[in-house]
Amino acid sequence: MTENKNGNALPANKSAHGAYTINLVGFSTRLKALYSNWREHKAEFWGSSDVLAVATPPASDDLRYLKSSALNIWLLGYEFPETIMIFMNKQIHFLCSQKKASLLEAVKKSAVEAVGVEVVMHVKARNDDGTEQMDAILLAIRAQSKSDPIVGSVAREAPEGILLETWSEKLKNSNLQLADITNGFSDLFAVKDHDEVTNVKKAAFLAASVMKNFVVPKLEKVIDEEKKVAHTVLMDETEKAILDPTKIKVKLKAENVDICYPPIFQSGGNFDLRPSASSNDEFLYYDSASVIICAVGSRYSSYCSNVARTFLIDSTETQSKAYDVLLRAHEAAIGALNPGNKVSAVYQAALSVIERDAPELVANLTKSAGTGIGLEFRESGLSLNAKNDRVLKPGMVFNVTLGFQNLQAQTKNPKSQNFSLLLADTVIVTEKGHEVATVLSSKSAKDVAYSFNEDEEDEELPKAKSESNGTENLYSKATLRSDNHEISKEELRRQHQAELARQKNEETARRLAGGGSVNGDKRGASKNTSDLIAYKSVNDLPPPRDMMIQIDQKNEAILLPVYGIMVPFHVATVKTVSSQQDTNRSCYIRIIFNVPGTPFNPHDANSLKHQGAIFLKEVSFRSKDPRHISEVVQQIKTLRRNVLARESERAERATLVSQEKLVIGGNKFKPIRLIDLWIRPTFGGRARKLSGTLEAHSNGFRYSTSRPDERVDASDSDSDNSEESDQGYEPSDAEPDSVSEDDESDSASLVESEDDDEEEDSEEESEEDKGKTWEELEREASNADREKGDESDSEEERRRRKMKAFGKSRAGPSSTAPKRAKMRR
């Protein structure tokens, strides 16, 4: 893994430079931590240095991690290239350009308040090598320190550029003692504060998200489609995903993120588990028993994180066992990262698992379990090896990396024989234990092991099974003839039922489509919205007056202004219309249309027709005239109600059965009449009953009232249909719900008697009444009422006695007297 550049360098142009400010609170806190650690561990980590000299080289596009750059970002928040910082007991000297000095002026007061030191600026000219300013700094070092002060510097960082080379020569020629303070900075950066831990968590979340949401789906797609993709291509695409977090739906600002190293993809037997590894130009190899290693490192605000996963393709038993052991060892190493433990205990925990479960793999284990991570990708002072006796503290962050290298698989394929395994996670030591910051990316065996040969085996199994089943069935048919006979009958019945179901489904589909039933019955046919035409052509449209909603009552249409054109809609296509007024005195009208799935009647065939078309579901218009909107809504509702009522009536009339014309008897034949009868429902839907007369003619009946336009004819053919079923029969108000068996034959007759309690009287007719006519019986009933002369007797009682007298007479043309007095039409 090659090292990366720091991304918090100051801008080159002056205008952008003014947008940067130093966090003075953070500067004061961390300056105190620097002086405290230096004074407390001066001999242990800082080489007994009296002066700390840190020189930051010029900015570079190379990927690198430097202690000097890390100190700039940690203390000041930005990287200050070509800047020399000298820390002494009473002074801090900065040697830099004028632009940087202007920004650093802000820390003078904070430095005095935090640790009581004075900040001195040394500004060099653009083309000056800074020799004069360096001489002034060396004089200050000798003046504030003892006679032979020790100057500490980062020995591993070679000087770059004229300024740093000149400074290095000055130090060598100054006869001052020099010491390496690398360990001091490593210890200073080891424990992270809350802000630093937050940056690490964000970086780890980004790395884990890239692994889960980009790398894994990308590998699966390449393998599934059997594409040839080079490792370097995968590296470039993954790097772009890191630098643009929105691609993987991570809400982090792109200007704050960077890569720790170019993403690593390895496969095909060539593996390198060192941090400096890189992706080669070979194609990704994903044949059987192959291994793919992928590592992703990302940074947020210059703080690093890392995650690495190994993917197994149709793994062998050796590979699966090795991965299971590595996974347990990796978990054991993470479990040992608790405050108070020694760093060496982490590696020892992983080693113990391997020695117990697979001692033959100890020789292939990596020499360390990882390193500390933060502003630097590898904090060398926190290496997780067996010799590091430092104590773990809350706030430390580790890149726990464990792997097996140069393992051999039991396969003849040379690209699969040699394989390696690698796992890495970013782990934070907390007060109560540890936290895995990259837990979002799974490393369990079920999530990283892929098996593609199982699909081919599964495809062969059904074929073999069907062949065996076919043999067994043939054998059964040849031996069990009786069973075969029963099976044939059952099969015939099943086929018949299937045919009936198919015919029924076809008939239902035709009926819903408006075609009626297979028998030609048109009662099931329905009128759909496609049959309703407002205008046959564009020429029939009324000339536009204003671009306003208009109602055409004659053609039953609504004209809506759409993009400067009046577009007509038949009112039957409207489902609902409503209006609403807002606080700004604007009024809105909303029109919702019928679309497939929401027909204006239950049999709208549009639910089956034109399913691929685009339908307009609703429109809304705004107006400043609430009165006009109210009128439009009312007109649409009224017109729609009338049209729907007409169509409903037309559909009901279509269900009526045509009947023969009633033959009215002439003067020679006087029809038999029953008076004071009521029909249900009443004419015109009136609530008040109006009595009428029922007449019996040669081929049917006629019911009429005193009004000439209220008349109902019922032929004998219609009565025959009524006798087939008594569904819809509604008993009279005074009639009991149950009917005797003798009355069942009369239940479908057209009229009902007002009083069924008098049935027995009709069976006990006197001989003297049998020969009387209707007129004589009516006169006798009237005389009986006058003779009784009871004023308290009600009209209802008199009517009942009259009907009783009629009931005792002999029947007319019919063999039995009618017993009901209510029309059933």
62 within 8 A of 38, measured Cβ to Cβ: no
Residue predicted with more confidence, 144 or 87: 87
Question: Are 717 and 573 found together in one domain?
Answer: no
For residues 542 and 555, give the distance between their C-alpha atoms in angstroms, rounded to a whole number.
Answer: 10
Structure tokens at 544: 């536009």
Task: Report how far Cα 605 is from the mean position of its chain's Cα atoms.
Answer: 33
Question: Are 559 and 484 found together in one domain?
Answer: no
Lowest average pLDDT, out of 289-293, 324-328, 737-741, goes to: 737-741
Residue predicted with more confidence, 688 or 417: 417
- Give the domain range for residue 599: 529-654
- Residue where a domain stops, chosen among 189, 214, 232: 189
What confidence tier does 543 reach under pLDDT thresholds 50, 70, 90?
confident
What confidence tier does 478 reach under pLDDT thresholds 50, 70, 90?
very low
Residue predicted with more confidence, 551 or 426: 426
Q: What pLDDT is attached to residue 174? A: 87
Within a domain: residue 421?
yes
Within a domain: residue 798?
no
CATH number assigned to the domain comprising residue 349: 3.90.230.10
Question: Are 498 and 561 found together in one domain?
Answer: no
What residues contact 564, with CB distance under 8 A and at least 6 apart? 547
CA distance to 100, 234, 243, 462, per residue, from 238 (Å): 36, 6, 9, 41
Percentage of the chain lying above the pLDDT 90 cut: 46
Question: Are 625 and 720 found together in one domain?
Answer: no
Residue predicted with more confidence, 678 or 736: 678
CATH number assigned to the domain comprising residue 624: 2.30.29.210
What is the tens place of the pLDDT at every residue in 440-467? 999 999 999 988 764 444 444 444 444 4
39 within 8 A of 49, measured Cβ to Cβ: no
For residues 170 and 139, give the distance between their C-alpha atoms in angstroms, rounded to a whole number.
Answer: 12
For residues 285 and 269, give the distance between their C-alpha atoms in angstroms, rounded to a whole number.
Answer: 9
What confidence tier does 761 reach under pLDDT thresholds 50, 70, 90?
very low
How many domains, the chain?
5
3-class state of residue 68 by DSSP? helix
263 within 8 A of 295, measured Cβ to Cβ: yes
Is the confidence at residue 598, as pLDDT, over 70? no
694 within 8 A of 673, measured Cβ to Cβ: yes
Question: Are 135 and 242 found together in one domain?
Answer: no
637 within 8 A of 592, measured Cβ to Cβ: no
CA distance to 693, 695, 729, 731, 805, per residue, from 820 (Å): 13, 14, 12, 10, 16
What is the tens place of the pLDDT at every residue in 123-169? 998 888 889 999 999 999 988 766 788 999 998 888 998 999 999 99
Q: What pLDDT is attached to residue 483? A: 43
Percentage of the chain lying above the pLDDT 70 cut: 74
Q: What pLDDT is attached to residue 38? A: 95
Is the confidence at residue 327, as pLDDT, over 60? yes
Question: Are 220 and 350 found together in one domain?
Answer: yes
For residues 756 and 739, give the distance between their C-alpha atoms in angstroms, rounded to a whole number.
Answer: 10
Element housing 266 (H / E): strand 264-266
Q: What pLDDT is attached to residue 10? A: 52
Q: What pLDDT is attached to residue 595? A: 79
Q: Pick from 375-379, 679-683, 706-710 the range whose average pLDDT is largest.
A: 375-379
What residues contact 735, with CB distance under 8 A and at least 6 apart? 752, 756
Across 74-113, b (16+ Cβ under 10 Å) vs e yields bbbbbbbbbbbbbbbeebbbbbbbebbbebbeebeebbee
Mean residue pLDDT across the chain: 79
Question: Are 156 and 292 found together in one domain?
Answer: no
For residues 231 and 474, give the distance between their C-alpha atoms in angstroms, rounded to a whole number.
Answer: 56
- Residue where a domain stops, chosen among 654, 685, 701: 654
Q: What pLDDT is attached to residue 267? A: 94
Within a domain: residue 470?
yes
Lowest average pLDDT, out of 205-219, 566-580, 701-715, 772-786, goes to: 772-786
What residues contact 540, with CB distance under 8 A and at least 6 apart? 555
Task: Report how far Cα 242 is from the mean position of its chain's Cα atoms.
Answer: 25
Residue predicted with more confidence, 327 or 470: 327
User: Residue 10 carries which DSSP code?
Assistant: P
What confidence tier does 383 reach under pLDDT thresholds 50, 70, 90?
very high
Taking CA 108 as the corner, what is the angle to CA 106 and CA 111, rounded to the nearest 5 degrees?
120
Is the confidence at residue 83, as pLDDT, over 70? yes
pTM beyond 0.85? no
Closest CA to 722 of 576, 823, 801, 615: 823
SS (H, E, C) 154-203: CCCCCCCHHHHHHHHHHHHCCCCEEEECHHHHHHHHHCCCHHHHHHHHHH
Within a domain: residue 783?
no
Question: Are 217 and 117 found together in one domain?
Answer: no
34 within 8 A of 107, measured Cβ to Cβ: no
Question: Are 324 and 211 found together in one domain?
Answer: yes
Q: What pLDDT is attached to residue 812? A: 44
For residues 354 and 366, give the distance between their C-alpha atoms in angstroms, rounded to a whole number.
Answer: 12
For residues 416 and 286, give the distance between their C-alpha atoms in angstroms, rounded to a whole number.
Answer: 9
For residues 193 and 188, give the distance between their C-alpha atoms in angstroms, rounded to a whole number.
Answer: 11
For residues 781 and 774, give the distance between their C-alpha atoms in angstroms, rounded to a whole number.
Answer: 11
- Residue where a domain stops, chosen among 167, 189, 211: 189
Within a domain: residue 8?
no
Within a domain: residue 94?
yes
Question: Are 326 and 475 found together in one domain?
Answer: no
Residue type, 356: R
Residue predicted with more confidence, 6 or 189: 189
Q: How many CB atoms lie within 10 A of CB 325?
A: 20
What is the tens place of the pLDDT at every residue in 342-365? 999 999 999 999 999 999 999 999
Lowest average pLDDT, out of 13-22, 84-93, 219-228, goes to: 13-22
* Residue 539, burial from CB neighbour count under 10 angstroms (0-12, 13-18, 19+): exposed
Within a domain: residue 173?
yes
Question: Are 719 and 619 found together in one domain?
Answer: no
For residues 397 and 437, give the distance between their C-alpha atoms in angstroms, rounded to a whole number.
Answer: 10
Question: Are 140 and 254 found together in one domain?
Answer: no
Q: What is the DSSP string of 224-261?
A: HTT---BHHHHHHHHHHHHH-GGGGT----GGGEEESS
What is the tens place of the pLDDT at every residue in 483-530? 444 456 777 788 888 888 888 887 777 766 654 444 444 444 445 545
For residues 312 and 416, give the distance between their C-alpha atoms in angstroms, rounded to a whole number.
Answer: 11
What confidence tier does 597 reach under pLDDT thresholds 50, 70, 90?
low
Within a domain: residue 770?
no
